[in-house]
Chain A
Amino acid sequence: MSKKYKRTSLLDPKLLRSSARLAFVKLKPTLLAQNPIMFTVGIASLLATVLMIRDLSNGTFSPIDAQITVWLWITVLFGNFAEAVAEGRGKAEADSLRRKKIETMAKKVSSVDDKAYKTVPATQLAIGDLVLVEAGDIIPGDGDVVHGIATVDESSITGESAPVIRESNSDRSAVTGGTRIISDSIIVQIGTNPGESFLDRMIGLVEGARRQKTPNEVALNIFLVGLTLIFLIVCVTLQGFAAFSGGLLPVIYLIALFIALIPTTIGGLLSAIRIAGMDRLVRFNVITKSGRAVEAAGDIDTLLLDKTGTVTLGNRMASAFIPVNGMREKDVAEAAFLSSLADDTPEGKSIVRLAEKKFNFHGEKTRTEGMRFLAFSAQSRMSGVDTENYSIRKGAPDSIFSLCGGGRSAAIEEAIERVAKTGGTPLLVAKDKRILGIIHLKDIIKPGIHERFATLRRMGIRTVMITGDNPVTAAAISAEAGVDDFLAEATPEMKLNLIRKEQAEGKLVAMCGDGSNDAPALAQADVGLAMNTGTMAAREAGNMIDLDNDPTKLIEVVMIGKQLLMSRGTLTTFSIANDIAKYFAILPALFIDIYPTMGTLNIMHLQSPESAILSAIIFNALILVALIPLALRGVRFSPGPANLVLRRNLLIYGLGGILVPFIGIKIIDMIVSVFMGG
């Protein structure tokens, strides 16, 4: 996980206090009924309480029954507590977001050219309204810039302090309500109705207002309910079998057996796992629109990654000067250097830096008054410098050739091709219409990305790099970065088709995007991560939004999805495996009156039947609370092939699930019997 992950203490005392209170609030039947397993425990506790009261009134009361009853209620409370802690952590995030939502006034205009505005509260704005936002103003709602350009401080949403540029008719036209304009003024067309804004939705999501159970969670719930029903049949019929065998079992013991057997651990922690999983994303500055998407993230088979920003650093860098026509490297470097002195593009700057480094040129000293610089234009496709003595041009090979009226030679062609083949971009440098050599511009692969792709491959996830480059360049870069495949000269349609093709093969695809033309693909993908700086359309189409605009995060999103599913599976296995020990604790105690020989099955040598049953039920309650941190933090996930991950997990939690309760129940029994004996 990256350093950006905001860690808050798992067990913040304030949170624990409020959660403890909520655990009691959640005893309300309507709230409890949302969790079928905990609801069952609640009913069992109620039944035990009624029985206890009956015993009290007719004088057959025994303290052990009261203790069991108390521990049953504690089990319910622990389950509620787990859920409350998870929700509380989400709520803390929501509260901090809500504080950012200040009531703002908007300057409503009737058209883009309208100079006069009307001041209205932001809550009254509807879709399509135009508002003027000037330096210092807070943007009143989500929307697109339809006129102008401005710098915006989005730190309230993203936590990133550097201001960003928003301008009309570009891929950076979306603005978010609640952010502040620092300079200039823009006209924004409002894109959402009040109460539906981005911030509102974020708050809603984080708070859990829209947290529906995910599909796999629904299935797991059905499974757990099925198990509960089976154990209900087991426990109810057991009384009958006991009656046939010549003795009735104390009902409270049967209730204890039932609660011990049903999967309370996973049942109590299931929603905590989900909430914690979504919170991990929020803390990671990724907002999900549905829990379904988080689950889908774990299932991703193919990752579509944009080259720029994900695989490579944003810009190309000059990496070599290649002389031709008998020139020296220094001649090429000097010409390239001079022509780039006023070039503010990252490529231009990198040429200057490379020349300075290689040949000790000095930018500031060299620049003189007499130099006339030509900036790069889309028409000429070159830039350069003119002085009285010379004229230098650098640019794409075709434009330089036509400038020089030819000048092609086998050596030049070959050099150009060599550069292109390694994934570089060749720029020709000509002085006075004579070609001196080639500047090799190179894509810089992000450090560490190669290893990450290797990890993904070991996890069975295929990576596809999407680029507008030609196939030769794309192939070279993808080979260097270690992606599995690439889509060169990609258009939005090609992206969409690729996603459809992969999906037709049954695969799940994740991608990220920001432009309006990415919207169809984002909507088609199973996980569409839209950049927060992207257009409104892109943000609407994706099912997740990255507030930090870091496409690399797609990889983290997949990991978080996997971790969520793993935690769920792990605690389920653990919960079921626990039952073996509980049987050995409770059954001998239950049957010893009917068949004294049953003591043989008491392999843990628990002190007395009473202490055995009590210990099992105490263990059952304590293990639930002991596993809350694991549910919130998630099972440690070290990426690797499925079989390896599974083996490690089974060894720890499968075997642990069988052994831990044997040890735990024995220890509790030792403690309990001290009290009982005393």
Chain B
Amino acid sequence: MMGNSLLQFAFFAFVTMVLAIPCAHYFTRLFAPKAAGGGLAFEPLERLLTKVVGPKILHQQNWKEYLLSLIVFNLVGAVFLYLMLRLQGYLPWNPEGFGNIPPALALNITLSWLTDTGWQAYAGETTLSFFSQMVALTSQNFLSCATGLGVSFAVARAFIQRENSALGNFYADVARSTFYVLLPLTFFFALFLIDQGIPQNLDPSVQATTLEGASQTISQGPIASQIAAKIIGANGGGFFHTNAAHPYENPTPLTNMMQIVAILVIPIALVLFFGQIVGDKRQGWSLFAGLTILFLILVFLCAYFEQMHHPVLSALNVDQKITSTNPGGNMEGKEVRCGIFTSALWTVATTSTTQGSVNSSLDSYMPLGAVVPLLNMLFGEVVYGGVGYGRYGVLIYAMITVFIAGLKVGRTPEYLGKKIEAREIKLAGLVMLITPICVLGFSLASLLLPQGAASIMAEGPHGLTQTVYAYASSAANNGTAFNGFNADTVYQNLVLGLVILIGRFGVIIPALAIAGSLAAKKIVPQSVGTFSTQGPLFVLLLTSTIILFGGLVYFPMLALGPVAEHLALFAH
């Protein structure tokens, strides 16, 4: 079994890198500051478009202009999305005849899809019409993702500007991200999924009689395109309630593996792209190395805990030994076609990015097995980072690493030649405060207030974990959840919606402000006397900083949640 896991991992790693490296080069051609379509085939089209729209809109923006465009764009998107959901009953492509979505849930869905979170307080197949799925949600699937990409490009550009505040143009970034990156990738990925047997139609559900003679309703619809979009766009909100555990979302071991690959390709490409855009590929590879170390640790830990013998199952005399026909370990809540290792791999991948799709039930994980995805989100999803979001989180960690360790070489701290000073630290500190406030503050409120506490089904430490998980997932714009947590209450819809909003813009705004401040600075040339942000030493420092900060802030809370649960479970 061990050999099997390694083989699967090797396949996964190889395919991911084969796709990510060219993708990074493609990004550099498209999004480096001087790239005007990068000499690609669409250049004439772009020139025409620029002429029509006018240079007034497509000029170089400073951070404030960039942010303003972003907010206006998102606001308009939000209003449209909200109205479409509220008026679902009057809109077409609604074969099941679903009614209008109630206000609180509609608001929650709007915020969730606006921010690329994919938090689903509803069951898609029994709530949303095809129109809502295809038009309302899917368009946001692309646009929210493009927004995140744009911010990560703007932040990356800040490092190469010399006393020049231009960070690029938001609309150009969104348009290029959508039309040159997301749409084509989604299109081809959807074709692959259809080939693997995922339905793609506009038909209503069918009734079937099971072998036991019971009646079953089987939903179908434009699933393949939805799934392709949710995976590529790091949204993670599935067509079905059970997400990628559903056979129509994830029918074969190959779709399982390829979806994990697709989850990680763009995030990894963005890490490498950063090295390319700052003109020193080793910077990107060093970040990649640090994040990969964390990724491997997390995958190993998750798989290790899930492979343990569950004491409750042991007491029931369930065979948990690994054999060639038995995956062993804690198989509760996991699909047999996925097994333990790729379930763990998916779980880490989905929380390493802002994905939020799942192929197994996190609620059924071992207490410490579930800590892994939780911790990953509490780190700020910086391990690779999402499609955009999370990418700038890494840079903030890198800046803090440089700020503490950089002094040790006897120079004031600088990252890639940009001095890290009071303003940057103030803004980075703001970002570092956002997650603790959202996760510790709001989840505590939910636990202690009767309106919030009604959502949890479990008593004691597991209930604590369920709530904290929901808030961490929202704050990190992830979207994964514990099934035992009832998210569709007015309280949770509104508060989690708020947390999602804070988690998104509480990071984007300071990140863009930092970018603006960095862009206006000189670039101090590197020498043997400057703190090097590439190579093993920096990798070690960066990973330590991420672990230390995540660990120090959340360890007490985790001790009362999953750690206590684990100790109780294994007490005897």
Give chain A's interface residues, CB within 8 Å of chain B.
215-216, 218-220, 222-223, 225-226, 229-231, 233-235, 237-238, 240-246, 257, 261, 295, 298-299, 301, 458-462, 505-508, 561-563, 565-566, 568-570, 572-573, 576-577, 579-580, 583, 587, 590-591, 594-595, 597-598, 600-601, 637, 641-643, 645-647, 649-650
A569 near B408: Cβ-Cβ < 8 Å: yes
Instruction: Identify which of B417, B424, B425, B555 gathers the most chain A CB atoms within 10 Å of its CB.
Output: B425
Indicate if B321 sits at the interface (CB-CB under 8 A).
no
Indicate if B53 sits at the interface (CB-CB under 8 A).
no
A587, B555: Cα distance in complex, Å: 9
B425 proximity list for chain A (CB < 8 A):
219-220, 222-223, 226
A222 proximity list for chain B (CB < 8 A):
422, 425-426, 429
A645 proximity list for chain B (CB < 8 A):
408-410
Interface residues of B in 364-417 (CB under 8 A from A): 400, 403-413, 417
B528 near A458: Cβ-Cβ < 8 Å: yes
4 tightest A-B CB contacts, nearest first? A460-B529, A569-B407, A562-B410, A226-B429
Complex partner residue of A219 from B403, B433, B524, CB under 8 angstroms? B403
Closest to B453 in A: A244
B532 near A460: Cβ-Cβ < 8 Å: no
- The digit string for B528-566, where 1 denotes a CB below 8 A from any CB of A, is 111110010100010000001001110111011101100
A460 proximity list for chain B (CB < 8 A):
527-530
- The digit string for B323-364, where 1 denotes a CB below 8 A from any CB of A, is 000000000000000000000000000000000000000000
A67, B56: Cα distance in complex, Å: 69
A261 near B528: Cβ-Cβ < 8 Å: no
Indicate if B172 sits at the interface (CB-CB under 8 A).
no
Instruction: Identify which of B400, B422, B448, B548 gathers the most chain A CB atoms within 10 Å of its CB.
Output: B422
A244 near B448: Cβ-Cβ < 8 Å: yes
B563 proximity list for chain A (CB < 8 A):
601
B429 proximity list for chain A (CB < 8 A):
222-223, 225-226, 229
Indicate if B55 sits at the interface (CB-CB under 8 A).
no
Known contacts A230-B553, A562-B410; A241/B464 CB under 8 A:
yes
B460 near A245: Cβ-Cβ < 8 Å: yes
Closest Cβ–Cβ distance, residue B195 to chain A (whole Å): 49
A601, B426: Cα distance in complex, Å: 35
Closest to A582 in B: B552
Complex partner residue of A598 from B405, B422, B548, B567, CB under 8 angstroms? B567
A234 near B564: Cβ-Cβ < 8 Å: no
Known contacts A218-B422, A219-B421, A238-B557; A598/B433 CB under 8 A:
no
Indicate if B506 sits at the interface (CB-CB under 8 A).
no
B410 proximity list for chain A (CB < 8 A):
298, 561-563, 565-566, 637, 642, 645
7 chain-A/chain-B pairs, Cβ below 8 angstroms = A216-B413, A245-B560, A565-B412, A569-B405, A595-B567, A645-B408, A646-B537
B527 proximity list for chain A (CB < 8 A):
301, 460-462
A506 near B523: Cβ-Cβ < 8 Å: yes
A234, B404: Cα distance in complex, Å: 22
Closest to A216 in B: B412
B411 near A215: Cβ-Cβ < 8 Å: no
A233 near B409: Cβ-Cβ < 8 Å: no
Closest to A637 in B: B410
Complex partner residue of A595 from B407, B537, B557, B564, CB under 8 angstroms? B564
Indicate if B525 sits at the interface (CB-CB under 8 A).
yes
B404 proximity list for chain A (CB < 8 A):
223, 569, 572-573, 576
Indicate if B447 sits at the interface (CB-CB under 8 A).
yes
Majority SS of interface residues in chain A? helix
A219 proximity list for chain B (CB < 8 A):
403, 420-422, 424-425
| Tally of contact residues, B, Cβ under 8 A | 62
Q: Apart from A234-B556, A565-B411, A572-B407, what are 6 other A-B pairs with CB-CB below 8 Å?
A: A238-B556, A245-B464, A301-B529, A570-B407, A583-B555, A650-B405
A237, B439: Cα distance in complex, Å: 10
B529 near A459: Cβ-Cβ < 8 Å: yes
A507, B411: Cα distance in complex, Å: 12
B564 near A600: Cβ-Cβ < 8 Å: no
Instruction: Identify which of A240, A246, A580, A591 gathers the most chain B CB atoms within 10 Å of its CB.
Output: A240
A641 near B528: Cβ-Cβ < 8 Å: yes
Closest to A297 in B: B410
A226 near B405: Cβ-Cβ < 8 Å: no
Closest to B570 in A: A597
A226 proximity list for chain B (CB < 8 A):
425, 429, 432-433
A459 proximity list for chain B (CB < 8 A):
528-529
A597 proximity list for chain B (CB < 8 A):
564, 567-568, 571
A647 near B567: Cβ-Cβ < 8 Å: no
Closest to B535 in A: A643
Complex partner residue of B559 from A462, A577, A587, CB under 8 angstroms? A587
B447 proximity list for chain A (CB < 8 A):
240-241, 244
B567 proximity list for chain A (CB < 8 A):
595, 597-598, 600
A643 near B532: Cβ-Cβ < 8 Å: yes
Closest to B556 in A: A238
B559 near A647: Cβ-Cβ < 8 Å: no
A573 near B405: Cβ-Cβ < 8 Å: yes
Indicate if B135 sits at the interface (CB-CB under 8 A).
no
A642 near B531: Cβ-Cβ < 8 Å: yes
B436 near A230: Cβ-Cβ < 8 Å: yes
B532 proximity list for chain A (CB < 8 A):
642-643
Indicate if B312 sits at the interface (CB-CB under 8 A).
no
Indicate if B95 sits at the interface (CB-CB under 8 A).
no
B191 proximity list for chain A (CB < 8 A):
none
B436 proximity list for chain A (CB < 8 A):
230, 233-234
Closest to A558 in B: B410
